[in-house]
Amino acid sequence: MNVDDRIRTTLDAQLRAEEARLANGMVGSTGRSRGHRGPMLLATAAVVGLVGIAAVVLWANRSTGSGDDLVVAVTPTTSAPVTTVAPPTTAPATTVPVTTEGPVTPEVPGPTTEVPGQSVPPGPTVVPDTSVPDTSVPDTSPPPTGPATAIGRVDVDDGLATRIVEVDVATGQVLRDLATIDLEASGIGRLQVTPDRQAVYFTQGWEDSWFSCESSLPVIQFVDASGGPSEPVAVGNGASPRLSPDGSRLAYLAASRCVPDPQNPANWVLTPLDTVVVRDLATGSEQRWTDTELAGLDAATLSYELLIETELRGLAWLGDDELVVPGHRFRAADLERTGDAAQFFGTEPFGSVVVGWDAASGAVLVEEVVRDDAGETTGANLVAVDPISGGRSVVATTPAGPWVFWGAFAVDDSGTAILNRGPGGLGLPDGSAVALGVELVGIDW
């Protein structure tokens, strides 16, 4: 039997089994189906207006494995020892020896697998820009003067590749190609551009990320934006990379271990984000903090749900010297934990992305994707969240229109929200738009 016949026969066998279960009234009769009871009850549910609880993420909307979109509330925990990673060595893909200072994070028994090595290439030297951008919460008036150029992404080859480009905002013309990235079975997260626009960072994750430890964490990529096209260079494995406002440090979330999913060990691995990393971009040195509560869980008895419950999600800078993740605040210089923080990413778990910080109010600016009942993206809100109290307010929202996924909002150098609307235009909060010659699918300023 050839491959085609084997596939058809197998899928057909499954189809016959499902048809038999339906005919025998065996569908929807288990507790696993969250109360479904077959067609008649489904029709009844429609009448009484029961609403499905699941959020749908469009395939095209995935920032696959980037971690930027996976945001859930976490339980506050106590502080943990900081693990320092040695400065970078000379070659890419070199596993960095980890030295510990103070108590060692408890070793978790069970089928623990090493997370892929934190490959650290020669650290890109970024000259810190000492001028801190004013990231005031945007009002609804257009900026008096906008940035001349934007760095963003343009998907090409029917979405199988993407170009990182610099675009003239006034004319919409592509000024420079910075890199072209193959998106085969992968997706990339929001671009992070240094204030001097000499470097771009982003995550690249894989669609099959849950099948192996090697692919379970995205790779943080670096692109030299000082000249012409270049190849991305892997900085390390992690999620949610965020540059400090002065561009001197890159903070991201990482994992200390990878374990088989107890409920489905053949097909899934769990790589919970339990570590905060701050990398000094001038020296390449890194500071690490690992959540002791999460790291201390017994892998033999842990549950997927508990891991998810306690996983770190989201990261934001509060100025150049402090950063926050849900539940924890840190001093950036040494990752000393300075206090609790709100679980401020818990309201919209599938679309929230930290896009900035408002120096005037101290609020973290979060982009939240708005979806309809069928899961189609209909727009986005820019929300100011108090990182301590969790208080939140919507400061801008996308007008009606076909919004591009990811990067519906960005905050420009003057602190004004710039809306990235597709196809082919940048929209401003007042509804005006700047026509572009290309469709940007993710921008940063």
Q: Which of residues 20-49 bind another protein (CB under 8 A)?
A: 21-22, 26-28, 30-34, 36, 39-40, 42-43, 45-46, 49
Of 4-12, 141-149, 240-248, 281-289, which part binds another protein (CB under 8 A)?
4-12
Interacting residue with another protein among 91, 148, 156, 160 (CB under 8 A): 160
Q: Lay out the site mask for another protein across 255-284 (x = CB under 8 A, - = otherwise).
A: --------xx--x-----------------
Q: Which of 147, 349 has the CB closer to another protein?
A: 349
Separation between Cα atoms, residue 73 and residue 326, nearest integer Å:
7
What order do you get walking across the sheet with 249-254 strand by strand?
98-100, 82-85, 286-290, 275-280, 249-254, 239-243
Closest distance of CB 395 from another protein, Å: 25
Q: Which stretch binds another protein (CB under 8 A): 10-18, 86-94, 106-114, 146-154?
A: 10-18
Helix and strand counts by DSSP (H, E) for the chain: 5, 29
Taking alpha carbons only, the member of 441, 413, 421 closest to residue 133 is 413
Q: Tell me: does residue 308 bind another protein (CB under 8 A).
A: yes
Pairing of strands 425-427, 82-85: unpaired
Distance set, CA 377 to CA 372, 384, 400, 404, 443 (Å): 7, 21, 11, 9, 18
Amino acid at 92: P
Q: Are 225 and 199 in contact (CB under 8 A)?
A: yes
435 near another protein (CB under 8 A): no
The single residue among 202, 350, 405, 406 that binds another protein, judged by CB under 8 A, is: 350
Residues 56-115 that bind another protein (CB under 8 A): 56-60, 62, 69-70, 72
Of the candidate residues 25, 97, 158, 227, the single one contacting another protein (CB under 8 A): 158
Task: Assess 51 for contact with another protein (CB under 8 A).
Answer: yes
Cβ closest to another protein, residue 5 vs residue 103: 5
* Shorter beta-carbon distance to another protein: residue 70 or 354: 70
CB of 70 to another protein, least distance (A): 7
What tokens appear for 335 in the block?
A: 């990752």
Q: Say which residues have a Cβ less than 8 Å from residue 242's Cβ, sequence separation at least 6.
A: 192, 250, 251, 252, 315, 316, 317, 323, 354
Query: Site residues for another protein, window 128-147 (CB under 8 A)?
Result: none
Query: Does residue number 293 form part of the binding site for another protein (CB under 8 A)?
Result: no
Q: At closest approach, how far in Å is the CB of 305 from another protein?
A: 4
* Nearest partner of 151 among 190, 203, 184, judged by Cα: 190
Residues 6+ apart with CB under 8 A from 363: 137, 357, 384, 385, 386, 387
Among 224, 309, 321, 386, binds another protein (CB under 8 A): 309
Query: How far apart are alpha carbons 216 and 241 in whole angstroms?
Result: 16
Which residue has 């300023």 as its token pair? 445
Q: Provide the mask over 194-233, with x wherever binding to another protein is found by CB under 8 A and - wherever it is not.
A: ------------xxx-xx----------------------
Rounded to a whole number of angstroms, the minimum distance from the CB of residue 377 to another protein is 11
Residue 341, φ and ψ in degrees, nearest 5:
-140, 165
Residue closer to another protein by CB (options 288, 313) is 313
The footprint of another protein on residues 359-388 (CB under 8 A) is 373-375
**Minimum distance of another protein from residue 94's CB (angstroms):** 28
Q: Which is nearer to another protein, 17 or 86 (CB)?
A: 17
- Collapsed DSSP state (helix, strand, coil) of residue 388: coil
Identify which of 434, 444, 442, 436 has the alpha carbon closest to the alpha carbon of residue 413.
Answer: 444
Nearer to another protein, 27 or 127 (CB): 27
Examine residue 433 and tell whether it contacts another protein (CB under 8 A): no
Q: Of 123 and 187, which has the nearer Cβ to another protein?
A: 187
3-state secondary structure of 44: helix
Q: Return d(Cα 377, Cα 90) in angstroms, integer.
A: 44
- Considering CB under 8 A, how many residues would be counted as binding another protein? 74
